[in-house]
A and B are shown apart, each in its own frame.
Chain A
C-alpha cells in the first residue's frame, strides 16, 4: 500500500537528512526509517566533528590550568554554557548547570533543593504521565524526608485533568514536577496555566523538558518555571551531557549535592567552603567534549530554526496520524488536542514487541514497551505500546515505510499464519 490518498496532507521534507551520516546506512538491506527519536536522536556531522575536533585540537582540563590549552578548553566549555542559556532564553549563564542529562538534573534538584527544603507532610505534585525519571527521584526524596507524592490524573485522550490539578494543589504543595511533552503519548502540557496556578499556592515548578527542547522553542523566562531539565542526546547532541536551568536565587541558596574538585572554594579538614553556582553543582572534571558537542547541536538546531522544525513535525504528525490511524486494526493511544511528534499505537492481535521485531526487519526503527512510563500504561490498562517518534529529518517516506511494515506484520499475524 502507499499513502497517495493522503498526499494532500504530506508535508515537504526539510531536506536535512543528508547532514546525518547514520541515516544513509541501510539496515537489514532496507532504507533506514529511524522513528525512535524519543529514545535518542541521531547526530549531525557538525556535532560529531565538534567533539572530534575538541579532542584533536583543544583537549585539556578546565578551570585549573595556567597553560594555553587549558584556558582554551575553559573558554569553549563556558561558551557552551552560553549556548544553553540562549537556547532556553535564561537570563544568566550562571543559571545553567551541566549534568549527565535530564535524569541527573532532576536528581540534583531532589537531593539538593528537596533535601534542604522539604519535611514531613510536605507535598510533591506529579502527573500520571511522568517518565520514571520524574517519579523515582521524588519517591526517594519522600522516603528520606517524609514528604508525600500526589498525582494529577490524565483523561482518556492523555491530557491532564485540570479540575483535579486545581483540587490537588494546596498550601502543602511545595513542588509541582511535570513533563513539558509526554514521552509516551506526545501530549504537550499547558505549562503557562499550570505554572501560574502552582505559583499562586507558593509551590515551585520543575519542568522535564527532555521531549520538548528539540521540537519547539523553549523560553524559561516566559514560562516562569523554576527548574527546567533536558538531555543533549535528544537534541541531536552527544549522550552523557544535559543541563538543568534553575532560577539564580534558588541556585544560590541550594547546598551542594556531590562533593569533589571544582565545586569548592577552600578545603580544610576542619571544614570546606563551596564555590558559587553553577560550579558548586559540577563536582569533578565534567563532560567537556559533551558540552562542546551539545553547543554544536544547539547551533545546528537554531540554524535550521526551531519554529520551522516545530511546523514540520506538526505537519508530519498530522500525516502520520491520518495514514496510520486509519489503518484497520490500528488504535492510536494519546489523542490530546495539543501534541508533539509522538505517535503511540496498538495493532489488534499483535503484541508491540512482535510488531517492533517485524518492523525492524523492514528497516523501521520504533520503540515497543512501556516507555519508562509504567503508571501511564497502567492508567490505560495496557502493558505497552508501539511508538513512532519524529525528528526534523523524518519525512513522509519514513511514515510510508512504517505503514508498509505494519501491513506486513498484519499479513503475518492476522491474515495468514505463515509469512511468505
Chain B
C-alpha cells in the first residue's frame, strides 16, 4: 500500500500553495489575440486563458477564473511555462505534461511544472491539473466551446 500521507505532501507542495495564494499572470488581457474558456461543471472550476501569439510564438499568456488549489496553481504555472515558447513546442509540452500526470512520465525536464506530478496518485484530481492546459489548447486552436476535463 502506498503511503497516502506522503502522497498528500507530494500533491500539495510549497510551489502549489504559493501559486494558489498568489497566482502569476492572473489578469485579463485586452490585447490578447487568442482566448478560450474552460469549465469543469462538477467541480465548479472556471477559467479563461488569454494569449498573444506572434510569428508562432506565445509572447504573453494570462488567465482569470476560480477553482481549487490544484487547478489555480496549474494555470499559474502554465502561463509561466509557455511564455516565449513556439506554439508547437507548447503543444508537445502539453502532451508530455499529460503523460506526466496519467501515463509513463517522459524523460524531460519539466521545471516547476514537475510540482504537479503528485497528482498522479490522485486520479480524481487529474482533471483539475489539466483544465488550464486543455483551455490553452483550445485558445491556440481558436475553439469557441469551453474546454472540459470531466
| A interface residue numbers (CB < 8 A to B) | 28-29, 350-354, 357-358, 361, 369-370, 374, 377, 382-384, 412-413, 417-419
Contact = CB atoms under 8 A, between A and B. Distances in A.
A42 B17 CA distance: 35
Contacts of A370: 41-42, 44
B8 A369 contact: no
A29 B43 contact: no
B68 interface: yes
B68 to A, nearest CB: 4
Given A351-B68, A354-B68, A413-B17, A28 B44 contact: no
A417 B21 CA distance: 10
B44 A357 contact: no
Interface string B104-134: 0000000000000000001011001000000
7 tightest Cβ-Cβ pairs between the two chains A and B? A383-B44, A351-B68, A417-B17, A28-B4, A353-B68, A354-B69, A361-B4
B48 to A, nearest CB: 15
Interface string B62-84: 00001111100000000000000
Contacts of B67: 351
B69 to A, nearest CB: 5
Contacts of B11: 357
A383 B122 contact: no
User: What does DSSP make chain A's interface, helix, strand, loop or mixed?
Assistant: mixed
Contacts, number: 61
B145 interface: no
B131 to A, nearest CB: 12
Contacts of A369: 42-44
B13 A357 contact: no
B18 interface: yes
Given A383-B44, A383-B66, A384-B43, A418 B122 contact: no
Nearest to A420: B9
A354 B70 contact: yes
24 contacts: A351-B67, A351-B68, A353-B43, A353-B70, A354-B68, A357-B8, A357-B11, A361-B4, A361-B7, A361-B8, A369-B42, A370-B41, A374-B41, A377-B44, A382-B44, A383-B45, A412-B12, A413-B12, A413-B17, A418-B9, A418-B12, A418-B17, A419-B9, A419-B12
Given A369-B42, A384-B44, A417-B17, A353 B125 contact: yes
A372 B145 CA distance: 22
Contacts of B18: 417
A53 B125 CA distance: 39
B5 interface: yes
A383 B66 CA distance: 9
Contacts of B8: 357-358, 361, 419
